Amino acid sequence: MVTPSSASSTERLARVYRALETVLDPEIPVLNVLEMGIVADVHIDESGVTIDMTPTFAGCPALDVLRREMVEAVRAAGEPSVTVRVVYDPPWTTDRLSEEARRKLKAFGLAPPGPRCGAQSLPEIERVPCPYCDSTDTELETMFGPTLCRSIHYCHACRQSFEHFKAV
């Protein structure tokens, strides 16, 4: 992260982060890009602001929308020169979701991810805690939800279908 050398840089950096807090994920509109952990770095200098963004998936359909909205938000906060670079190394993982993001996912009715991919056994993937009643009497209905990052599950306790944010 940037370590500003002057109060002016500190103020600019704070303003950029406040602006980024207003940019919501278009597929999960209760989370902003900072809570999602897709803002990898912010560089500020005399020439402007450069934001490094790591998408959740290489083929993320929201990539262009997120890039445009980040530029617009930071420009509206008073930074005329803004660039968003897409970086893939290191790749994004669900470990980058903040605890606040996990709480918001659950309140939204989307079961938050467990440990990263490869760290879960099949029963753990199938028995995701229900975001409505917290029961683990659930089953995987399909690995393929409405987006690449979600699967569909069913809770036998409260008889609700729900989506799960896949661990990657």
Judgement on whether residues 79 and 20 belong to the same structural domain of the protein: yes
Query: Residue 58 — pLDDT band, cuts 50, 70, 90?
Result: confident
Judgement on whether residues 79 and 98 belong to the same structural domain of the protein: no
Judgement on whether residues 12 and 80 belong to the same structural domain of the protein: yes
Q: Exposure of 142 by Cβ count < 10 A (0-12 exposed, 13-18 middle, 19+ buried)?
A: exposed
Report the 10 Å Cβ neighbour count for 102.
18
86, 121, 141: which is the final residue of a domain? 86
Judgement on whether residues 18 and 59 belong to the same structural domain of the protein: yes
State the pLDDT at residue 125. 59
Give per-residue pLDDT as tens, 113-122: 875 555 545 4
The answer, yes or no, to whether residue 102 has pLDDT greater than 50, is yes
DSSP 128: P
Judgement on whether residues 109 and 153 belong to the same structural domain of the protein: yes
Nearest of 76, 92, 75 to residue 148 by alpha carbon = 92
